[in-house]
Amino acid sequence: MHISSQRTFTSDICVAKMSIFQGSETSQPHIALFPSAGMGHLTPFLRLASMLLSHNCMVTLLTTKSTVSAAESTYISFFLSTNPEIKHIEFQVPPMQPSNTTADDPFFIQFKATSRSAHLIYPLISSLSPPLSAIFSDLVVASGVSKVAVYLGIPNYAVSTTSAKFLSLLAYLPILTSDAAKLSNRSTDIEIPGLTPLPISSIPPPFFNPDHLFTATLVSNAIALPDCKGILMNAFDCFEPETLSAINNKRALRNLPPILPIGPLETYELKKDLGQYLPWLNSQPAESVVFVSFGSRTAMTKDQIKELRHGLEKSEYRFLWILKTKTVDKDDTEDLEDLLSCSFLERTKNKGMVLKEWVNQQDILAHPAVGGFVNHCGWNSVMEAAQRGIPMLAWPQHGDQRANAEVLEKAGLGIWDRTWGWGGQRLVKTDEIQKRISELMTDVKLKSRAKKVGEEARKATGNGGSSIKTIMEVIESLKQNNRS
């Protein structure tokens, strides 16, 4: 669908409100989902769409016409082809060239472009039939979408794709960036009233520059969070109990709406290509494989790849390694032989597999051969590991990932070495990597704690579980609104 209407934003208001107030013929909720850029944001929305369909909701998916990565386009197309009942609306985001900001990440630029264009969805969704019951929007577009929701007279729920710990930092960011003194002393922790202090080392470097495109975009949307009906989280109650309790009981960040854990979100069962890795995993002993993956956006330097390669080989464990060298997959064209050397691939061919492709991470983590997970600590990955009870070696690279690493360590899901810093901050050497991988694969207490986390995660999403109850309460409230 293209933006072709010449009607103005305000001239549609009366028509849309009349449509809504006339009521729907059914109490079945109709929910619009609006993700932001990147697979880390898209994936939980597709899983949420699948969950809503299973609860008899109508779903409309809003996406931008052009995506940053090829994986986004591929997965949107395939997901829609397997779920034809979902309405799909594409809209054109006007191009943006940041002039007075610091940004070299195409995803940051797309965040800002989508955020500032969110109001353009109004003419596209105001006349949907049946009318929308709610919008579930990415936190990164909350500001524009909240205004649209107000005009439509429906609630907007923000969808958080990070931990509650990092979400609390985002919510506090407008205050933090308004006072230069709060960030000028890099030797002290960040104090958010009512919450455990956050180490200054876990603050993403862009946050120290209020004019950075990433920071400015998050600040403008964090200001709008109090206007949301609630914040849906891909998480479960007992994974971050202290932070969730402090916020929901108004001991911290009192202006925030309730945080509603509805995860871990289940996979939407993409079976387009099972990949060569599953037959390989089938031939490996139980819990013998180290799964190494740094997500869809982490580009590792060649020097660090070399150290990781040697660390894996020196550990003598079997491994499945998903390798990425560019931030955007379209630019990732180097051959494995050039990156790793033919001799390494030959030496490890009987105990290791290295791939440069998108994989179904949940399928891999669910496989009995996998015994540990070396990962960047993107929140989707953390929740996938939690759901399966797979212990993690956290290696945070950017953004929310150091805060996430603190959370998973405290929850008992994994370990991490704080001295490794941010991705690219220093070269983590072979022996350090080998030592931590050995710890990951041999620590009996760690494995036991991780399995308990998995049990709690599955309990939350099972019949009568806390996450299921929460999403059902949200859906029921939308049904009640439809009936009124």
Active site (catalytic) residues: 41, 138
| CA separation for the pair 287, 246 (Å, rounded) | 37
How far apart CA 350 and CA 438 sit, in angstroms, is 19
The CA–CA distances, whole Å, from 213 to 36, 112, 329 equal 15, 7, 22
Q: Residue 155 in contact with residue 189, Cβ under 8 Å?
A: no
What is the dihedral sign for C-alpha 103, 42, 35, 162? negative
CB count in 10 Å sphere of residue 227: 18
Residue 431: other Cβ atoms inside 10 A: 12
Closest Cα to residue 305, out of 287, 291, 323? 323
Q: How far apart are CA 480 and CA 409, in angstroms?
A: 40
Number of other CB atoms surrounding residue 267 within 10 Å: 17
Query: What tokens does 336 get?
Result: 């494995």
Phi and psi based region of residue 294 (left: phi greater than 0; alpha: psi -120 to 50; beta: remaining): alpha
**Which of 457-480 are b and which e, b meaning 16 or more Cβ less than 10 Å from the residue's Cβ?**
bbbbbeeebbbbebbeebbebbbe
Using CA atoms, how far apart are residues 210 and 177, in angstroms rounded to an integer?
Answer: 6
Long-range pairs for 98-106 at CB < 8 Å and ≥24 separation? Answer: 98/213, 100/211, 101/211, 101/212, 101/213, 101/216, 102/206, 102/209, 102/211, 102/212, 102/213, 103/212, 103/213, 103/214, 105/214, 105/327, 106/68, 106/327, 106/328
Q: Is the peptide bond before 130 cis (omega within 30 degrees of 0)?
A: yes
Task: Show the tokens assigned to 251.
Answer: 């001991």
